[in-house]
Amino acid sequence: MCGIFGIIYLGNKQIGKIALEGIRRLEYRGYDSCGIVVHKNGELYLRKDSGKIQEIQDKLKFDELIGNIALAHTRWATHGAPIKKNSHPHLDCKNEIAVVHNGIIENFISLKKELLSKGHVFQSDTDTEIIPHLIEEYIKEGIDFKNSVIKTLKRCKGAYGIVICYSKEPNSIIVARKESPIIIGLDKGKVSYCASDIPALLPYTRDFYILGDNELAILRPGDVSIVNFKNEPIEITKPLKHIDWSIDAAEKGGYEHFMLKEIFEEPNALRRTLKISENELKMFAKELMDAENIYITAAGTSYYASLAGKYIITKFLGKYIQEIECSELENQLLDSLKNNSVIIAVSQSGETIDLIEAIRWARKAQKNIKILSLTNVVGSSITRYSDLTIITQAGPEIGVAATKTYTTQVLSLGLIGLQIARERNVLPKEEIDSYYDALKSSPDIIEDFLKKTNHSIEKLVDNLEKNANYFFLARGISIATAKEGGLKLKEVACRFIEGYSAANAKHGPIALVREGFPIIFIAPPDESYERLVGNIMEFKARGGHIISVVVESDEIISDLSDTVIRIPQPANKYYNLFSPITFIPALQLLAYHSALAHGLDPDQPLNLAKTVTVH
Ligand code: G6P
């Protein structure tokens, strides 16, 4: 939530251009307003406004700003409407201290009152603005810049990734973190960068320092020193983390939108994820086999990946796995969490605050609990709270709606399930091999599907868009697919389209069905197929327009359907188990084209942000 970027050079440069590029690469984190402040020869120059980055650049020409320091911000509003005065950066009374911030200062009201009583004048409704004023207050008392920042942060409750500069200290910027991510990159002796996410720094480096909670870094051109500001500020030596993402993966590369590009990247993302080491899978499998209680928790799309993954793992583990939305984990387990439990935490960003808080709570509640996490981001917060982590190999995902990170999550959970099957010898070896073969074929199936079908999905959208409502219905493991399909439409096409259990749809949703009402059935030929046929008949009898997503050779449901989307995969139980991976691109494309049909930008859905670091 909110993207921040900071840079410090040895001498004056056309630094606005670099800062602009930095926040452009973070625009998926928030896009209701933006701003850049530059330091040049003892003065701060601020430009900011509400709107998308390109609109503001056209008006304010960020790229023309010259200086040796720049702080930049792209905002997802929390405190204060998305209007110019609330855009970041924020300054102190004397225009000497500038701050960009990602997170929430929870006690800002009392701090603001205190500062107002001391004569400070505020320009915005934000929580952030108290920070430069508080620093100003300490500097007034004769405390140096670094210690003024430390004193200020010690008084701030809540979460922050923050970058600060002071015009009277033009050779350094200060960066600090509590809960909201910050990474740092260096070009030794020349320039230092910091940002709230990896894509912003990919043009400059693949080696990063990842700031921990309560850590503060002083960036000088091409140099950094890091301290923990909660304790005595003793310098910390941190290892660099290498991240193997290509810069092309964070560019549109000829596609009209990141979302479409990322759907088409799914086959290769899955191929990379298939290479997760056996050793990692074995460690995960062992913990799950030893556990008495197992929970799987996540938010948004990762939650639906967890629903699908839970089905797959349970099949081979022979133990129930309880799925819980991470924001509800504490409420639900408050009186029942046992010591020998395992929590599988799934998050593409590894930064979702509700998830981080849930696993932190669980750790505190029960000492021997094990946290196993699945994330796409090396060094993300979740990895710090986990006993074991598997990194999915989706690469950077810039479109706000998760696509390739979803399929790689389900595939990773599938690999864990199959590892368990191997170790428990639950099936003859040939059967387990057949499941492996099916899982390994998922990239080819999707590739084949994408080659053939993009166009027919566009046509289907033309038809569907004439209707105010429709459903995705399914049974068994495909309920996860239906729910994720519904979520994609809400996110990118602003359509209130629900994914629902086909059986449960009789208990309410069927009341909406009239002649021509479309219902999309997700129908791999698994054990729930025949019952799904029954559900289709119920909806047909009421005039429903039946659209089905089926396998290539399907006959029964296809014959009952008005429109059919075929997924080019064999009709057997091995492939059915991994249909949450192979069937979802059809629904992702549907959501994408539906967004275009509504004139919406699928990469930047209204009111959303990719990484949700506030409660
Ligand atoms: C936000 C994003 C979703 C994502 C969810 C969970 O709502 O817009 O795309 O699924 O957060 O994010 P995570 O990074 O934890 O998977």
pLDDT at 171: 96
Residue with the nearest Cα to atom 7 of ligand 1? Answer: 300
Residues 6+ apart with CB under 8 A from 205: 185, 186, 187, 193
Looking only at the bridges linking them, the beta strands covering 293-298 and 183-187 are unpaired
Report whether 59 contacts 49 (CB < 8 A).
yes
b (16+ CB within 10 A) / e for 43-60: ebbbbbbbbbbeebbeeb
Intrachain domains 3-242 and 449-606 with the same fold:
no
pLDDT at 610: 82
CA of 584 to the centre of ligand 1 (A): 17
* Ranges of the chain whose pLDDT falls below 70: 233, 454
Residue range 257-426, CATH number: 3.40.50.10490
Q: Is 540 a catalytic residue?
A: no
Mutate to test the pocket of ligand 1, among 27, 196, 296, 349 (most ligand atoms within 8 A of CB): 349
Kindly state the tokens that stand for 530: 């025949």
Instruction: Report the C-alpha gap between 593 and 582 in whole angstroms.
Output: 19
Return the domain boundaries, the chain: 3-242, 257-426, 449-606
CA of 361 to the centre of ligand 1 (A): 20
Helical H runs in 340-403? 353-365, 381-384
Report whether 176 contacts 212 (CB < 8 A).
no
Residue with the nearest Cα to atom 14 of ligand 1? Answer: 349
> What radius of gyration, in Å, describes the C-alpha atoms of the chain?
25
Residues 6+ apart with CB under 8 A from 356: 179, 381, 382, 385
pLDDT at 454: 65
Report whether 141 contacts 574 (CB < 8 A).
no
Q: Which of 29, 3, 612 is nearest to 327 (CA)?
A: 612
pLDDT at 366: 87
pLDDT, averaged across the chain: 94
Per-residue pLDDT tens digits for 163-179: 999 999 999 999 999 98
Instruction: Report the C-alpha gap between 221 and 333 in whole angstroms.
Output: 48
Number of other CB atoms surrounding residue 427 within 10 Å:
15
Q: Which residues line ligand 1 (CB under 6 A)?
A: 299-302, 347-349, 352, 355, 400-402, 608, 610-612
Instruction: Report the C-alpha gap between 431 and 420 in whole angstroms.
Output: 14
Mutate to test the pocket of ligand 1, among 2, 28, 31, 301 (most ligand atoms within 8 A of CB): 301
Q: Specify the ligand 1 atom closest to the Cα of 352.
A: 15
Instruction: Report the C-alpha gap between 210 and 238 in whole angstroms.
Output: 8
Residue with the nearest Cα to atom 13 of ligand 1? Answer: 347
Instruction: Report the C-alpha gap between 148 and 162 in whole angstroms.
Output: 14
Q: For 278-351, where are the E strands, in sequence order?
A: 293-298, 321-325, 341-347
User: In what side-by-side order are the strands of the sheet with 370-375?
Assistant: 321-325, 293-298, 341-347, 370-375, 388-391
Instruction: Report the C-alpha gap between 406 and 301 in whole angstroms.
Output: 7
Residues 6+ apart with CB under 8 A from 423: 282, 285, 286, 289
CA–centroid distance for 189 within its chain = 33
Total length of the chain: 615
> Which residue among the candidates 40, 178, 370, 610 is catalytic per the annotation?
610
Specify which residues 70 forms β-bridges with.
Answer: 7, 38
Instruction: Report the C-alpha gap between 241 and 378 in whole angstroms.
Output: 8
Instruction: Report the C-alpha gap between 194 and 5 in whole angstroms.
Output: 6
Distances (CA, A) of 215 to 8, 160, 209, 225: 19, 11, 11, 10
Per-residue pLDDT tens digits for 231-277: 776 788 888 999 888 888 888 888 999 999 999 999 999 999 999 99
Residues 6+ apart with CB under 8 A from 44: 37, 38, 91, 95, 96, 98, 165, 167
Instruction: Report the C-alpha gap between 24 and 86 in whole angstroms.
Output: 19
Range 449-606: architecture per CATH: 3-Layer(aba) Sandwich (3.40)
Residues 6+ apart with CB under 8 A from 167: 39, 42, 43, 44, 95, 96, 97
Q: Identify the helix (H) or strand (E) that includes residue 454.
A: helix 429-464
Q: Which long-range contacts (CB under 8 A, 24 or more apart) does 147-155 make?
A: 149/174, 149/176, 149/216, 149/229, 150/216, 150/229, 150/233, 153/178, 153/216, 153/229, 154/229, 154/230, 155/107, 155/111
Q: Specify the ligand 1 atom closest to the Cα of 349.
A: 14
Q: Specify the 3-state DSSP secondary structure of 455.
A: helix
Kindly state the tokens that stand for 44: 């701060």
Q: Is 156 a catalytic residue?
A: no
As a whole number of angstroms, the longest Cα–Cα distance in the chain is 81
Report whether 182 contacts 241 (CB < 8 A).
no
Looking only at the bridges linking them, the beta strands covering 545-551 and 563-567 are parallel
Q: Specify the ligand 1 atom closest to the Cα of 605.
A: 8
Range 3-242: architecture per CATH: 4-Layer Sandwich (3.60)
> Which residue among the candidates 2, 165, 194, 326 is catalytic per the annotation?
2
Mutate to test the pocket of ligand 1, among 2, 410, 608, 611 (most ligand atoms within 8 A of CB): 611
Residues 6+ apart with CB under 8 A from 559: none
Q: Is the preceding omega at residue 89 within 30 degrees of 0, hence cis?
A: yes
CA of 347 to the centre of ligand 1 (A): 7
CA of 215 to the centre of ligand 1 (A): 25
Q: Which long-range contacts (CB under 8 A, 24 or more apart) does 121-126 make?
A: 121/93, 123/85, 123/90, 123/91, 124/80, 124/85, 124/86, 124/90, 125/79, 125/80, 125/81, 125/85, 125/86, 126/79, 126/80, 126/86, 126/88, 126/90
Instruction: Report the C-alpha gap between 397 and 177 in whole angstroms.
Output: 23
